[in-house]
Each structure stands twice: as C-alpha cells, then as structure tokens.
Structure 1
Amino acid sequence: MMNSEEEFYDAETGLESDDSCEVSFKDALVLDSKQAAAQENGVWERRKTLPAEMISRNNFSVWSILKKCIGMELSKIAMPVEFNEPLSFLQRISEYMEHTQLIHKACSLSDSIDRMQVVAAFAVSAVASQWERTGKPFNPLLGETYELIREDEGYRLISEQVSHHPPVSAFHAQSLKQEFEFHGSIYPKLKFWGKSVEAEPKGTMTLELLKHKEAYTWTNPMCCVHNIILGKLWIEQYGTVEIVNHSTGEKCVLNFKPCGMFGKELHKVEGYIQDKSKKKRRVIYGKWTECMYSVDPKVYEAYKKSDKKLKQEPSCEGEEADEMPEVQETVTVIPGSALLWRITPRPAHSAQMYNFTSFAMTLNELEPGTERLMPPTDCRLRPDIRAMENGDIDSSNVEKERLEEKQRAARRERSKDEEEWSTRWFNLGTNPHTGADDWLYTGGYFDRNYTDCPNIY
C-alpha cells in the first residue's frame, strides 16, 4: 500500500520526477537540456518526437505472410513486427481522448440538442487519429494494462486486456472533477481480403455526462486499409453510427461514407440529430479527417436545392478506387453553419514517425518517477514495443516471440490445473443503458496496490 505522501503525489503531482527511483529502459528517458530544466521546476514537458524514425518496409514481403490468410481473422495469426507501429492496442484506444475538450464543452451546455451536437463531434474525433495510420498496433497480452493521466486535460484512464480468445480490450476514463465517465470494451475483428484489411470495431462506447445525468452510446464505424500488397496504403472509414441519448430519447445518425467508385465521398460524414418525436433538429456534416459542422435542416435543404455547386471532390482512378486519391483538405461550408470540431494539426515530421499525432507521440513515454507508480503489466514496460520504438527491429521480433510463447505456456499451465483467468480491474457485466454484455470497471486501480498482478513480460 502507498503512504499518504505517495497518494498526494499521484493525485496532484503525478508528472513530477523522483531522483531516488530506479527506472528501467533508461534509453527511453534521456532528456535534453530544456526538458531537464522543466523537470527541475516540477513541470514535465512531454516529448514531441520518437526515439527513432519509422522502419522501412521496402525489403519486407507482405505477400509472403498474407497469401495464406485471405478471409481469415488476423488476430489469430502471428505477425512480424514489420506490420506494426510501436504502440499497444490499449494505447491506441486511449487516443479516443485526444479531443477531450469536446466532452468538457458538452458538460457546460444547458440544451440537450446542443450537447448532442458536441457529443457527435467527439465520436467523430475519436477515430480521426486513424487517418494515414497504416501500422498495426501490437496485440495486448492477456492481463496487460495501460494508464493515462492528463491533469492538464482533467481526466485519467485505465485499460486492461480482459480476454485473449476473443481479444477484448476494456477501458474506463473518468473526469478528475467528476464531470464525466467514458468507457467501453472493444473486440476488433480484422480480416484480409486480398488487397485490403478490414477492421470491424465490435463493442459499445458509453459516455456519461454526470452533471446532466445523461448517457450516450454508440459503436465506431468500419475501417479498411487498402493496397496491402502493392501501391500506397490508404484508409477509409464507412458505415452508420447511431448515437443515442438514453435519458432524452434523442438520437444522432451519422453516415461515414465509403470512397465509392470515383472517390467523391472519401472521408465524408453526414447525418442528423432527431428529438424523441423523430423530428430532425440539426444536420451534421464534414470529414472525419478534418472538421465537423452543424446547420439547421431547413437551411441545409434549401442550400442543397439551390444552384450553388459543391467544390469538386478528389477522385479515385480505377473502377474499384484502388489508388489513394489526392486529399484536398476542404469542406464546403454551408452559410449559417456552426463549427463543432476541427482536427489538431499533426507535427511536420509525422510521416517519419508512423504518422503519429502529437498526442500519440507521448503515449509510450516513460516519465521519470512513474515506473514505481504503475503495475508491472503496463504496456510501456513491454520490451518488444520499446525495442521497436528505439528502431531495433530484430530485438523487437525476438521479444515479441518470447512474450507470445510465455503467454501460451501460462495458458497451458492454467488448463492443466483447471484454472480460469481472473481479470483485475474489470468484470463482465451488463451495460445498464443498452442491456448488452460489457466489461465494467470495478474501481481500485488508482489505490496503487499491485501485489497480485501477473508476470506477463
């Protein structure tokens, strides 16, 4: 158990350093002079780059691995790290929180339709980081965890890999001021179809605005990575996303449009908000890669019927849109529209850093003094991910194989002893708003008692 001084450290100054602690992976903690000076003043400056640039895949034969996998679920197939980016899927989940300011905005609004608009923008923003992210995150090991504390953004998050077959990741984020809770459990199904990899994000997102006693639920759209074998990789998201306010009966229906034969719909999102009597109250439109707007339905319909022509959208060459169209970052704004959200620009060197956002750059960073606070299951301690981040692909592959074999051996031992795996921070239960099965946070993680955590690394 922690003493009172350590508890205060976690709650108030969790980003400060502790010179007395022993930190592994010291190569990941080298500070430049500016960061060291900031650290001495009690303020941690998060990194703006990765330790090494993205690995080259030029000499790697994707087809040699995938030719036997057509139509199969990829989560059941061992993949070399050349397919990956240096993050665990648990860390990738935490990227839903990049635009947390939208949740804070929703909490501050008095009108439920206005709140729904902003919640819809948040749901779109939660998948925006996937744009051009063609690397696969590492599959979490059973029992793996990840915590993210952002006092500057007013929240903290815990996630856990609660099942291996099928792979299920559960997360729970909570406001430090008890304004909101955001949680869910995700079962991503990946399938290879010859030219593309399709990801079906099974699982429900639940956002609770505690002040307003409201709960919103939705499921993320489908995602597809094209040109796996030849050509430039590119991503599209498509499908209908329904956001339901279970307290008021209001609903937002968003249509993530597929690229289509000529690419005119690439990245587009259009939808509407209806009240409990099914009357349309607002129209939502934009691009998940750029921004979202809201406008009155009558204004929208009048504009669509007018002689004004929308700007020419980029087009895909070829009947099946195999080639990535040149993206023109532009949305034609209908007069009278209100801006709901605009994406945070990526750093100039993003293309050399796995197309990470500035937010993603920080997720695998080990801040000085934090290792003594986290459990040994935190994915920032995974040697295969750390090695890849540092550019050591050979070590990353060796460590990945070792960890996977260790996981298989542990499963064999449990089977021999007829033991069942016991999750630590989440239990399988029922989502009170949808009635569906869901993994729910049981609490206690931030008490910092990790004596019973499994040895998975």
Structure 2
Amino acid sequence: MAGEMASETRYRTTLPATGHSEVNLCSVLSLGKDLSKITMPVMFNEPLSFLQRVAEYMEYAKLLKQAALETSPLARLQRVSAFAVSAMASNYDRLGKPFNPLLGETYELQRDDFRIICEQVSHHPPVSAFHADSDDFIFHGSIQPKLKFWGKSIEVHPKGVVTVELPKWNEAYTWQNVNCILHNVLVGQIWMEQLGVLEIKQHGGANLKAELSFKSAGCHSKDLHRVEGFLVDQDRKRLAYLYGKWTESLRACEAALYEDAVERIKRERSPQNSPGHKKVLARLSSLKVGAFKPLHQDAIDESDLPSDVDGVTVDEIPGSTLLWEVTPRPPNSADYYQFTTFAMSLNELEPELKEHICPTDSRLRPDIRKLESGDQDGAASEKSRLEEKQRVSRKSSKHKKNPPNESVPRWFLKGTNNHTGLEDWLYQGGYWDRNYADVEDIF
C-alpha cells in the first residue's frame, strides 16, 4: 500500500492571505448555547473544515509507526499514548472555529507513511467519521463535537471513541479525547486547557491501560497544560509513569523512578514529621480530576493517579525517555490563524490533486477558499449559499426513500466496534478506487 501513497513533496508554509479569527461571542450567543447547532458568522472561522481538523490527528503519525516496531506491549502503549497526547498540540492558541462540514462532505490526505479519508456522516447531530491506514497501523473512529458557550468560557466536548490497531501484534487501543476549555473569551487574557482523564485501553495481548490526567490550572500556573499518569496492568500494578505538557512533550520512566523522585522532593521541602510533611503524606495519592470525565469510561481509581498537591510536582526525572516533542510552529504562525506547519498544507490544492480528488472534498469548498484568500465577505456569501443549498436538499429528500434526518454516507456505515462493543461508523472501503460516479453535488 505504501506505493499507492503520495510521494513526499514540499508543502506550502503560508496561506494566500493573512487572517485572524474574532473571539468575542457576546453579540451572537446565550449561556449554555450549543455552537454546533447554530450558524456562526464567518469572522469566527479559520479556513479549514472540521474534517481537516480531524486529519490533524495524523501530524505525528510516526509515533504509531514507532509503536508497531516495538517488541514490548508496554513500549507500544507508551508510543500510542504519546500519539493520543500529540493530537491535542495543534489546538494550542487556535481561536478560530473550523467550518461545519456539509452532509456528505469528504476530505482525504496522503503522505508517505499514511493516508486518511474523512466523511461527514450525519448533520444533526454532526458526526465526522475517519479511517487512516498504513503498512503498520490502522486508525479509525468518529467524533461528534459539542461546543458550548458559558459566558466566560467555551467548552469543547469531543464525543466519540477512536481506535488504533496494530495488525502485526493483533492489538488495538481505544480512547476518548478529553475536553478543551477556552477561558476569558469575552474579557481578559484568553487561555486554553485540556481537562479530564484520558484512559487508553490496550485490547489483546497484555491488556494494559494508560490513565493520564490533564491538569486543571490557572493561566499563570506552572502546571498549566500539564499531563501525567501511569500505565498499569490488569492488577493495577504501576508499570510506568508518563508526564509532560500537551503543548510541548511527553516523557516516560519506570514507576519506581517516579516514586523515588517524589520521596526526594518531599525530603527537600518538608522537615520529617512536621505537620506540613504529614499533610503531604495524607494527600499525596489524592487527585482532583476535572468535571468532564468521558461517560463511556470505566470508573478510574483516582488514588492510583499522580498528584501535585501542596506543590509536590515532579519535573524531568533522570532516566526518562522522550516519547514525543512538538514541532515548533513557523515564525509567521500568528499571521495565519496560529496554524502549525502541518495545518498550513491541509487546504493546499495543487492542479494534479484537483484532477483526482472526490468532488465533495473540503478543498473544493468555495467559502473556505475565499476566507483563505482574505475575502471575508465573499466567504460569508458562499457560506450562506451552501447552507441554503443544503437545506433545500434536505427538504427535497422528504419525498425520497430516506427521511431527511437519516444520512446515507458513501464510504462509512454504522456497525459495532469489535474492541469496544459500541456502535460506531466503520469504513466500507472503495474510496481510493477513485470511482466517484453519482456523487452528490454539495458545493
């Protein structure tokens, strides 16, 4: 399959025009409003479809390739955990809202080491399904994003389970992403945090589990963006400790090294048997987990998660392994919606690519293309036209076999995830055959 993928080329590092997304939502929203159910002005958007944001998962796909090369189940889980954390790094400082995909919209992306196809499989509720594959791994799932405005903050709830399969080892890994909170969207310094517990289950083989806590912290806290937790076996024995910041890097070490580091810090900071020291000992195994724990997850014994109470925070531990480090953003990122270098390339449309992509591909959306080129008024006009066209199409479908609220996706069908037992959207194959006959004209 690697031979079918696009050869590595040099991708663009700027957009056709500079641009910045507005953030102040006071004039258009009310408290508790679900942003996924309303039409937002174009000034709040960045020039990408949500399907393209889903494809940003793959920026650090090399971590999955590395996982497939590991001979130890523990080492494979570490690499997959790093991949799960790395997928959040591109969110940092990205204040623009991606365009809501139209029903039936698709997006494909090919690189030397993977290819991914995404499709908008439902409009109400909005659901985006995706399937990525390579010689070493399969990555698939669906996301039903919910965005809510709470006066001072916006909460992004990425509902949906994602799955990584490593065929060589007959293993799979499943998880649901934690929530993203954007603070001070009306007044003050805007800051962002990922919040909650990320549980990654390993299916097959050793059946290990990663339990990572994304810390809640103020915008000036030294623990802002911090993530840490343990990899445990079926008996909940701690095997490894993972730690870092989702905006920077993730490291791993043996659990014993973490325990030694905690004891050293305790000895340095608290006299033996002092009230303060006893307080640390009493509370060391406690953890205040954020209020947004994914509903599908099993109950997690919070006493088994790391703690940073009373200032006991473990920084870099000697003997740790660097699993992942973020790629620095280009110097001009602030002029282009805070895009990463990877994001800069997602809407690039070269002539040879235009000849063979599906007519429903996000790159062909005129509203996104106009915003990317700096034509905000033109983008708003095209956005309104596409939304009206979609409404007319849905009304006309009332007279057809399928009701308007039921989507009939081209490339995905509802089925059961064999690893979780939950209903999901599963790829049916055929997209890369390039047979796009009878594809609906949605643009």
TM-score tier, shorter chain, comes to 0.7 to 0.9
Alignment-derived partner of residue 196 in structure 1: 153
Is residue 131 from structure 1 mapped to residue 99 from structure 2 by the alignment? no
Q: Distance in 2 between matches of 1:425 and 1:206?
A: 18
Task: Give the equivalent residue in structure 2 for 1:313.
Answer: none
Task: Tell me what 2:351 maps to.
Answer: 368
Separation in structure 2 between the aligned mates of residue 261 and residue 288 of structure 1, nearest angstrom: 15
Residue in 1 aligned with 2:207? 249
Q: Give the Å deviation of 1:56.
A: 6.6
CA distance in 2, matches of 1:118, 1:269: 15
SS in 2 for 1:294: strand
Q: CA deviation at 1:307?
A: 3.7
Partner of 2:282: none
Partner of 1:350: 333
2:359 pairs with 1:398: no
The alignment partner of 2:33 has SS state of coil
Q: Which residue of 2 aligns with 1:34?
A: none
Q: 1:273 and 1:122 mapped to 2: Cα distance? A: 15
Note if contact 1:70-1:192 (Cα within 8 Å) is conserved in structure 2.
yes
C-alpha distance 227-260 of structure 1, shift in aligned 2 (>3 A)? closer
Tell me how far apart the structure 2 counterparts of residues 44 and 172 of structure 1 sit (CA, whole Å). 23
TM-score normalised to structure 1 length: 0.83
1:53 to 18, 24, 32: 18
Q: 1:142 aligns with which of 99, 103, 115?
A: 103
State yes or no: 1:292 paired with 2:250.
yes
Contact map agreement 1:14 1:370 (CA 8 A) in 2: no
Residue 286 of structure 2 is matched in structure 1 by none
The answer for unaligned runs of 5 or more in structure 1 is 1-7, 16-42, 311-330
Equivalent residue, structure 2, for 1:409: 392
Shift of 1:360: 0.3
How far apart in 2 are the matches of 1:384 and 1:161?
A: 17
SS at match of 1:306: helix
| Separation in structure 1 between the aligned mates of residue 218 and residue 416 of structure 2, nearest angstrom | 38
Map of 1:271-286 to 2, 5 A cutoff?
271-286=229-244
For residues 321-366 of structure 1, the C-alpha deviation after alignment (integer angstroms, 9 at most, x for no partner) is: xxxxxxxxxx931111111111011101111111110000000000
Match of 1:210 among 164, 167, 173: 167
Residue-by-residue CA offset, 1:193-242 (whole Å, 9 max, x unaligned): 00111011100110001111100000001001112212332211010010
Contact 2:175 2:198 in 1 (8 A): yes
Aligned to 2:415: 429
Is the partner of 2:196 in helix, strand or coil? strand
Counterpart CA distance in 1 for 2:126 and 2:337 is 24
CA contact (8 A) 1:134 1:235 kept: no
Match of 2:31 in 1: 70
Partner Cα separation in structure 2 for residue 82 and residue 129 of structure 1: 20
Q: Structure 2 stretches of 5 or more lacking a match? A: 270-313
Residue 368 of structure 1, CA deviation:
2.2
Q: How far did residue 14 of structure 1 move?
A: 4.3
C-alpha distance in 2 between matches for 1:417 and 1:221: 39
Asked whether the equivalents of residues 128 and 142 of structure 2 are also in contact (C-alpha less than 8 Å), the reply is yes
Residue 448 of structure 1 aligns with which residue? Answer: 434
> In structure 2, the residue corresponding to 1:384 is in which secondary structure?
helix
Distance 1:383 1:203, change over 3 A: same
Q: Distance in 2 between matches of 1:373 and 1:432?
A: 33
C-alpha distance after superposition, 1:90-125 (max 9, x if no partner): 000011110111111111110000111111111100
What number of residue pairs does the alignment pair up? 395
CA contact (8 A) 2:21 2:46 kept: no
Question: Given residue 119 of structure 1, which amino acid in structure 2 is its aligned partner?
Answer: V
Aligned-residue offset at 1:419 = 2.6
* Alpha-carbon separation, structure 1, partners of 2:392 and 2:52: 25
Contact 1:134 1:234 in 2 (8 A): no
**After superposition, where does 1:13-412 map in structure 2 within 5 Å?**
14=6, 44-55=9-20, 57=22, 62-66=25-29, 69-151=30-112, 154-175=113-134, 177=135, 179-247=136-204, 248-260=206-218, 263-307=221-265, 332-412=315-395
Deviations 1:59-80 (A, max 9, x none): x8632112xx211211111101
Instruction: Encode CA deviations 1:351-386: one digit per residue, 9 max, x unaligned.
Output: 111111000000000022111211110000000000
Runs of 4+ in 1 over 6 A off after TM superposition: none
Structure 1 residues 215, 13: closer, same or farther in 2, change over 3 A? closer
SS at match of 1:293: strand
Residue 433 (structure 1) shift: 0.3
Change (3 A) 1:402 1:377: same
- Tell me the amino acid that sits aligned with residue 196 of structure 1: S
